Amino acid sequence: MASLFARLGRWLARLAGQGHSCKGQNRAVSVGFDGVELVRQQYQESEERFRRLLESLPRVAVQGYDRQRRVIYWNQASTTLYGYSAAEAMGQPLEDLIIPAEMRDDLIASHRAWMEHGRSIPPSELELVHLSGERVPVFSHHVMLGEHTDSPVMFCVDVDLSDQKRAHRDLDFATRFDALTCLPNRQALEGQLNEALETCLVRKVGLAVLYLDIDRFSEINDALGYEQGDQLLSQLARRLRGELRLTDLISRVSSDEFVLVFLDTGQCGEVYHLVSKVQYAMRQPFMINGVERSITASLGVSIFPEHGNGARELIRNANVAKNRAKLDGLGGLQFFQRHHHDELVHQQRLVEKLEQAIERQELELYFQPQVSVASQRVENLEALLRWKPHDSDVFVPPDEFIPLAERSGLIHPLGEWVMEEACRQQAAWRAAGFRETRVDINLSGRQLLRANTLTRFEACLERHGLAPQDVGIELTENVLIDAASRVLEDLRRLYHRGVRIAIDDFGTGYSSLSYLKHFPVTSLKIDRTFMQDSPIRPADRSILEAAIFIGHRMGLEVVAEGVEYQDQWRLIGQLHCDLAQGYYFHRPMSAADIPPLLERHTNRRVAAS
């Protein structure tokens, strides 16, 4: 842009120079008449070319002003920029035409100073006035021609900056606001919150930061599509804004996460009141494309000054509390506690290590036998994943690392490894002549969200030359209830091919028995919590009894988990449970310990063919 002005300026200045030489005809006379005529012609041609050039520049507005600043030249681009036609502009003083009132006196003085003292007006960004009264941002460059003559002409060369200004504004908006909800983004919120914290310090008051994360938003997005997901977010943003007081802050900090800041609130009671208003607002259904949709969100709260001094720390701690709330299930609420943060750091380190567990061969499958209650024969082996990090002597409990793997997505490579290893091991045992025991693997809900998990399982069986009866799967009831129809179709196919499908931890999930008949399952594994006190607590005993009874009525095989003591063993015998799994018989053991066990038990070793 600057070089364009420089060139135009030089051109206009050269033209002014030519004007001088034309006027100083004394010098030309000595050149002779033909020479003068030639110079005049060249000058006229040059001026014509220049005029044509100025007229043809659509975005460069050029105006010429005489000694009294009256318009003597007005190109088409000036009409486009300022709204006056050339005919309307001609003869009008510059200051009455496009100069805002507040600049008028300065302009007249500067123009005079240029003509009288040669002090040029420097190029600058200005806001001039359109015929409609609107302001027009321009970059204006000025050239004085014939400066030292009786008829100096000032040319103004203006370039419209509206597009750049708009682009700047858009960029500024994009860097500080979220385009979908028009709420401030995380950076903008941090700035606002830091300012608010300074006010809090002066006024000696507290504030509360609420971190809100929509539960299972990615599933909502997958099910309804991004467009409806966006509608939901916009509606939620409007609703949340409606819950705020004028001084409170709100931001969309990432796709499905919002942060709300309640100023002047440090007391738990007040915070609970505000949070419950937000919870209430969330509970009302959203109308998306004419259909009512309900959502839940996990909430975390941090309070100033107890949980941090700066914006970043308070937001992070509210997020830590929210992550903690997520562990409690859908729609949870947690206030920040220091140990949550330490726990999170510990978990993050574990996830980093877990990422390398497969490569470093730190994983192993243990197998826990299931024993027939009638014959005490080992019927099945449940494959249970074990992980011993390279820098540790002990196993990390699966209850600790499996949920982490699920949240971080690592469950997919881990699950694949389990599938592959269980099939490989079962094929090896089959080849060694152990033909009668089945191996069961656990599949988590997150694994089934991947469309091809079950087809990969079938492919894995085939790759290892196994029959569908050789390896079964265990799923929890919630996984079945939440399963997409595509997953249920795959399960039905597996069921009809003869794969054993067990409901794991039965009794701890939805526990609605009516759903059982809708799902393709072959066994129930009653959770060990019902086993613990069943010999002494009539309530637990009744649940156990009912589960075994209903399981049998539905033609399912029933397995009692966590059988540790003789009286439990005796009880499940009386209740005609089919299989028992627990420390009373066998703890989970390494693959190497399985063949001697199978040989010792009644499982006959069939000669390998």
Report the interface residues with Mg ion, using CB under 5 A. 442, 474, 504-505, 561
Q: Any idea what DSSP says for residue 516?
A: G
Rg, Å, the chain Cα set? 41
Residues for the chain: how many in total? 609
Choose among Mg ion, ligand C2E, none what residue 389 binds, the Cβ cut-off being 5 to 8 Å by kind.
Answer: none
d(CA 446, CA 56): 65
Indicate whether 308 belongs to the interface with ligand C2E (CB under 6 A). no
Q: How far is the CB of 453 from ligand C2E (least distance, A)?
A: 11
Indicate whether 442 belongs to the interface with ligand C2E (CB under 6 A). yes
Contact characters 588-607, ligand C2E, x per CB under 6 A: x-------------------
d(CA 397, CA 586): 18
Q: What is the dihedral of CA 183, 185, 187, 192, to 10 degrees?
A: 20
Choose among ligand C2E, Mg ion, none what residue 271 binds, the Cβ cut-off being 5 to 8 Å by kind.
Answer: none
Indicate whether 358 belongs to the interface with ligand C2E (CB under 6 A). no
H/E element, 65? strand 60-65
Indicate whether 285 belongs to the interface with ligand C2E (CB under 6 A). no
Choose among Mg ion, ligand C2E, none what residue 581 binds, the Cβ cut-off being 5 to 8 Å by kind.
Answer: ligand C2E
H/E element, 297? strand 297-304
Three-state secondary-structure class, residue 448: helix
Q: Are 532 and 582 in contact (CB under 8 A)?
A: no
Dmax over Cα atoms in the chain, in whole Å?
Answer: 135
Q: How far is the CB of 425 from ligand C2E (least distance, A)?
A: 13
Q: Are 181 and 212 in contact (CB under 8 A)?
A: no
Nearer CB in complex with ligand C2E: 405/516: 405
Indicate whether 397 belongs to the interface with ligand C2E (CB under 6 A). yes
Three-state secondary-structure class, residue 472: strand
d(CA 487, CA 508): 22
Select the span of 64-72, 103-111, 393-401, 538-546 touching ligand C2E (CB under 6 A).
393-401
Q: How far is the CB of 382 from ligand C2E (least distance, A)?
A: 6
Indicate whether 369 belongs to the interface with ligand C2E (CB under 6 A). no
Indicate whether 278 belongs to the interface with ligand C2E (CB under 6 A). no
Contact characters 87-116, ligand C2E, x per CB under 6 A: ------------------------------
H/E element, 198? helix 186-203
Q: Which of 13, 107, 358, 384 binds ligand C2E (CB under 6 A)?
A: 384
Which neighbouring-strand residues pair with 159?
60, 139
Contact characters 527-566, ligand C2E, x per CB under 6 A: -x---------------------------------xxx--
Q: Are 228 and 292 in contact (CB under 8 A)?
A: no
CA end-to-end span of the chain: 86
The residue written with tokens 């044509």 in the block is 52
**How far is CA 364 from each of CA 381, 396, 403, 414, 561, rounded to the nearest angstrom?**
15, 12, 18, 11, 22
Q: Which of 95, 158, 256, 504 binds ligand C2E (CB under 6 A)?
A: 504
Choose among Mg ion, ligand C2E, none what residue 206 binds, the Cβ cut-off being 5 to 8 Å by kind.
Answer: none
Q: How far is the CB of 286 from ligand C2E (least distance, A)?
A: 33
Nearer CB in complex with ligand C2E: 181/380: 380
Q: Which of 298, 368, 370, 380 binds ligand C2E (CB under 6 A)?
A: 368
Nearer CB in complex with ligand C2E: 402/572: 402
Q: Any idea what DSSP says for residue 225?
A: -
Indicate whether 399 belongs to the interface with ligand C2E (CB under 6 A). yes
Question: Angle 476-478-235 (CA atoms, 0-180°, nearest 5)?
Answer: 150
Indicate whether 468 belongs to the interface with ligand C2E (CB under 6 A). no
Q: What is the dihedral of CA 34, 37, 41, 44, to 10 degrees?
A: 160
Nearer CB in complex with ligand C2E: 29/327: 327
Q: Which of 444, 453, 523, 603 binds ligand C2E (CB under 6 A)?
A: 444
Q: Are 188 and 176 in contact (CB under 8 A)?
A: yes
Residues forming the site for ligand C2E (CB under 6 A): 368, 384-385, 397-399, 402, 418, 442-444, 474, 504-505, 528, 562-564, 581-583, 588
